[in-house]
Structure 1
Amino acid sequence: MVKIVSFKALKYPALLFAVLLVNCKASRSAIVDEYIFVQKDTLQTTKWQVVWEDHFDKPQIDTTKWTKIPPNKADWGNYMSDNANCYSFLNGKLHLKGIVNPDTIADSRPFLTGGIYSKGKFAFQYGKIEIRAKLESAKGAWPAIWLLAEQKKYGKYPRNGEIDIMEHLNFDDMVYQTVHSYYTLELKQKEHPLYYKTAKVNSEEFNTYGLEWYPDKLVFTVNGKATHTYPKLEGVDPTQWPFDQPFYILIDQQLGGSWVGDVKPEDLPVHMIIDWVKIYQ
């Protein structure tokens, strides 16, 4: 397991060098800027070690790991909010909620949604992520677990790519697992390789949604079983593989949008229930 070192607390360069040397020899990862875990790109293994996790066993969000996602102009972000009514903890689990807005005078939006991300607090490059979650259903519900680039190595979206580990729509008995990039969105290369697949789930139960991320492929999983593989290709436009940089985690109970359709207020509130998040390298 990687030991997190607070570089700011180290006063002596020699001591800093010694700590770095020990950690590099003992671990599979390098820690950049104190919070970015970069796995060695030569590592291909199934003997994973947990390097970061959250079991949501406290009565509030751990703000050293997560930030509530603010609203934005994207379809998925129309109703994101830090309103306390969108977040609760019960039996060691985090509930992210989509609700009818109880106060449209203070906030004119008809709905509010809860979500968290690790932007600026934790990011990783290569390794494995697993999230155990239960997804409630509603018309217009769109819960998602996904990754975005922390440092934007290649410029503006979509050049840095997006990895959607899980998206669920309405009352579906399946989830979508998708890769987006300039290659898929702008160059329309969606079949070489296939950019998404669906996986059957019982959304009334807890499932573990995951991704194994290697330097040459992305392997999506559900309950530990591989469901979709997106490989790095040779001889194609280089925008096909922007996945050689650190990404951060987003977990959110979205509502509405052009893909999922209109929201039915009578179906709300709807909960996305998170048991735990684990990152391995």
Structure 2
Amino acid sequence: MIRSFAKPAAFLAFLGAFAACKTPAYQLVDGYMYEQRPGRENENWKLVWKDDFKGKTIDTAKWTRIPPGKSDWNRHMTQDDKCYELKDGLLYLKGIVNPDPSADERPFLTGGIWTKGKFAFQYGKIEIRAKLESAQGAWPAMWMLAEKDKYGKYPKNGEIDIMEHLNYDSIIYQTIHSWYTLELKQADNPKHGGTAVFNKDEFNVFGLKWYPDKIVYILNGKETFTYPRVQGVDASQWPFDQAFYILIDQQLGGNWVGKVKPETLPVNMIVDWVKVYQ
């Protein structure tokens, strides 16, 4: 005869906690998109992805060097080694005067990396520890774009700017862009960006916490600005319900930052680590 024993409540609680520990914070889509499991937004963060740049080369399983483009932000981008250096566990993304305009007519070259096609996440916390050097025309940025273009072409899927810095400023910009803010001109319903003072001579930790109903910007662990999802407005106000990939780049020049002074170059964004939690 098989006897049945009642399990003590403490034992059942232990089993529940053990099962919770074994359940991933995310569900993996297409092998590289980390979608946070529903209901986790109020639980403790778990580290799900990181890079501390300890290797001798950039980890190509995680990052791709950003190719050049025609926009202000990427027109000087290059995949040339001149704009990339790994040293002492730090990644240097450089902005330099082009040393050989006969091979490439652009006056400046810049380095940047993205996780497009290799890692993207939906909801969670991202933190990036870095030091931003200054120069006239320097425009380092950390930001995110939609991986799959769920709502159409840019800006319908939105843009999440974790950090942008201009020239020699002692502030950073933390901004949301979308069809709603750019095309419908709804920049204040709700307010779509803010600034935060930082120590530009030191390493800082830039980041944000991304929930289904708000994006909370953080600087060195302190909350600085919140962009909420609001009701009763055009649906394009919140395209942030899909996986986004990460971009980190040292940009130069453009309508916003102004002209570059070559004599103030080279300039570096020095990245220590990137961490994503869900």
Q: TM-score, normalised by structure 2?
A: 0.92
Partners in 1 of 2:38 and 2:136 — Cα distance? 42
Partners in 2 of 1:124 and 1:182 — Cα distance? 21
The letter for the 1-side match of 2:130 is A
Q: CA deviation at 1:156?
A: 0.5
Are residue 257 (structure 1) and residue 254 (structure 2) matched?
yes
Q: CA deviation at 1:26?
A: 1.1
The letter for the 1-side match of 2:147 is E
Are residue 200 (structure 1) and residue 197 (structure 2) matched?
yes
CA-to-aligned-CA distance 1:93-114 (integer Å, 9 cap, x gap): 0000000001111111000000
| Overall identity of the aligned pairs, in % | 63
Partners in 2 of 1:41 and 1:106 — Cα distance? 51
Contact 1:115–1:250 at 8 Å: present in 2 too? yes
Which of 129, 144, 147 is residue 141 of structure 2 equivalent to?
Answer: 144
Contact 1:212–1:218 at 8 Å: present in 2 too? yes
In structure 2, the partner of 1:32 is 29
- Are the structure 2 counterparts of residues 24 and 49 from structure 1 closer, same or farther at C-alpha, using a change threshold of 3 Å? closer
Which of 121, 130, 134 is residue 127 of structure 2 equivalent to?
Answer: 130
Partners in 2 of 1:262 and 1:36 — Cα distance? 38
Q: CA deviation at 1:42?
A: 2.3
Q: CA deviation at 1:41?
A: 3.3
Count residues in correspondence: 260
Partners in 2 of 1:78 and 1:242 — Cα distance? 27
- Are the structure 2 counterparts of residues 69 and 32 from structure 1 closer, same or farther at C-alpha, using a change threshold of 3 Å? same
Are residue 176 (structure 1) and residue 167 (structure 2) matched?
no
The letter for the 1-side match of 2:207 is G
**SS in structure 2 of the partner of residue 75 of structure 1:** coil
Partners in 2 of 1:38 and 1:23 — Cα distance? 17
Are residue 60 (structure 1) and residue 70 (structure 2) matched?
no
Query: RMSD across aligned C-alpha pairs, in angstroms?
Result: 1.3
The gaps in structure 1 that reach 5 residues or longer are 1-21
The letter for the 1-side match of 2:25 is R
CA-to-aligned-CA distance 1:146-200 (integer Å, 9 cap, x gap): 0000000000000000000000000000000000000000000001110000000
Superposition misfits of 4+ residues, deviation over 3 angstroms: 22-25
Partners in 2 of 1:71 and 1:207 — Cα distance? 28
Q: TM-score, normalised by structure 1?
A: 0.91
Partners in 2 of 1:63 and 1:23 — Cα distance? 32
Are residue 269 (structure 1) and residue 240 (structure 2) matched?
no
In structure 2, the partner of 1:15 is none
The letter for the 2-side match of 1:49 is K
Contact 1:76–1:255 at 8 Å: present in 2 too? yes
